[in-house]
Amino acid sequence: MDKVVAIIPARGGSKRIPKKNIKPFHGKPLIAYSIETAQKSRLFDRIVVSTDDEEIAEVAKAYGAEVPFLRPKALADDHTPAVEAVEATLRRLEEEGERIDYACTIYPTAPLMEVRYLQEGLSRLKESEAFYAFSATSMPFPIWRTFHLKEGGCGMFWPEHFATRSQDLEEAYQDAGQFYWEKCLPGKPPFRFAEYALPILIPRYLVQDIDTPEDWERAEKMYEVLHR
């Protein structure tokens, strides 16, 4: 039987939203939603939180996740990508004798994530030759008509499309930042938006990054509408 593990990377030290991962969100610590969605999916043999923070560890364990060890401080600064912390956690688990066939990185800032998309990710990955499956969503506006700010005005990234009708432009998609499935195989390529990664499409009303106070407020309002 396949061994399936969830890794939730949740370092301390958030600057823009202090203690973001355990800040109360509609009555529960934010990280609790990711843990509970993973539990409800019934996909995982283990749900492991990777953190350097004792307080986050205690909250995670209170909601049923494992924190078998604390993350080294070298993997918990502002410049360390979450993928490095996840890879280090998987290596440590394997060194301690754990055999892992599929791993899923679940962000602790995904209170809108739904079980069905998490399940779809693993199902489609198992049925394919891909190495990864990840949450994605469509862009709300054609990227071809976007612009950047310049001193005294602005400039288009693709000025040739200023007058192109929206319906004539190719639709673009973005990372939804909720989950990232992977086959635990030696020598596989790194995760990229490439032919070996399957996008699991999620409607935009279930996607919200939470990086700033404004993001937080918007996410709370979206959650309230979805669960009233």
**What domains can you pick out in the chain, each with its CATH number?**
4-145+173-227 (3.90.550.10)
Cα(201)–Cα(204) distance, integer angstroms? 9
pLDDT value, residue 13: 83
Element (H, E) at 93: helix 82-95
Which segments of the chain does DSSP mark as H helices, in order?
Answer: 30-41, 54-62, 82-95, 115-126, 213-227
Q: What is the pTM of this model?
A: 0.95
Structure tokens at 4: 């399936």
pLDDT value, residue 7: 98
Contact 173, 203 (CB under 8 A): no
pLDDT value, residue 76: 82
Contact 7, 184 (CB under 8 A): no
Structure tokens at 119: 């399940």
pLDDT of the chain, 228 residues: tens digit per residue: 999 999 999 999 888 999 999 999 999 999 999 999 999 999 999 999 999 999 999 999 999 999 999 998 888 887 888 999 999 999 999 999 999 999 999 999 999 999 999 999 999 999 999 999 999 999 999 999 999 999 999 999 999 999 999 999 999 999 999 999 999 999 999 999 999 999 999 999 999 999 999 999 999 999 999 998
Cα(114)–Cα(116) distance, integer angstroms? 6
